[in-house]
Structure 1
């Protein structure tokens, strides 16, 4: 319940009382388990986001010698996660990609940037080896993949009245993103 409300309203604008009402509980019941919203966020990070981060990182671990496979697998996993967890795209755009997101701040405090630095170093290494397009900016690659996958999925609810896009599915978005990636990230 909490995570769906956070995705719809944002973390800052969602109180424990609102979460209790949405779940059909009294505020006292929610406060019994979570003394503060920060404690609830910590549990959500541990139980929901840590496994997602691990799965996303797996795209690079499992394809350590193939940059195009690693990057396309990352895009595929993002779309797959969005299908499995409908709250993921909106929450990620609102709370991680946007300025001032509380979830981004808390995840940075929890996990730091070691994994990000290692991924950027790997991308730069692949570029030096001629295995990845040298014109790509490593620090923009993940944001670009999110823009191709998560952003359209987060916006898809707003497209319901748009006849040009209202029939797009997650599979269509994945196919489109992978086509763009495989044409643009391969070595020259």
Structure 2
């Protein structure tokens, strides 16, 4: 084989390798896009089922699970009108609960009862809006028993996870929204971002 033939042959091999690599890259990209679409689709369906279960809980006066195998159930709906943010709050703070929504931390009262109710959620999903919340924002909570309570944000702080200063038995009626810090972090750390809101007196019960 001549040198020219070898060069041409080598070029063909390189073009083939580039084509194969591009094909593999395209396939991987399509697979990842498909997985992302599936994740978003599952999240959308889950939120629809949570909304339906919460509505049934309020209507029937009893906890209703959105699907049979879930180890939690809706206990409240939280809304921040200025931000257009809303989420169904689930009982407990297990990993499964937090995968689908904010969790009502065990040992803390229901929102609107005396003491400090604590809702926790992931910073990159259901509590991503905490980065835009500010003092004076209104936070509305509707409980599964139909009771509604309005809160007003009065402060934000960063605290160690094991020294938050939150007192579940504090005088008054309070709501704490908690997530990991920093808000743009990608790994779990020892700090928490805590938003505190106080109840206002125009509470209503249906």
- TM over 0.5: same fold? no
Output the TM-score relative to the length of structure 2: 0.29
Higher helix share: 1
Output the TM-score relative to the length of structure 1: 0.31
Higher strand share: 2
Bigger relative CO (Cα 8 Å, ≥ 6 apart): 1
Report the structure number with the largest CA radius of gyration.
2
